[in-house]
Amino acid sequence: MKATDIIIPLGSSGKSVNLQELADMNVADMEKMTGKKMSLLRRVEFKLAQRKLRHSINADGTLSDKRLAMLANQDMNGETGFHIGGFALGLFLFLIGVLIAYLIDDGKKQNRVKWAWIGAGVLLVIILLVH
Predicted confidence (pLDDT) per residue in 42-98, tens digit = 899 999 989 988 888 888 988 887 766 666 666 555 566 788 888 999 988 999 999
* Number of neighbours of residue 126 by Cβ within 10 angstroms: 11
Could you give the residue ranges of the DSSP H alpha helices within 1-131? 19-24, 27-34, 40-55, 66-76, 84-103, 109-130
**2 — pLDDT class (breaks 50, 70, 90):** confident
pLDDT band at 100 (very low <50, low <70, confident <90, very high): very high
Q: What crossing angle do the helices spanning 40-55 and 27-34 adopt, rounded to 10°? A: 110
Cα–Cα distance list, 92 to 33, 56, 124 (Å): 41, 45, 11
Whole-prediction pTM value? 0.52
CA–CA separation, 97 and 13 (whole Å)? 37
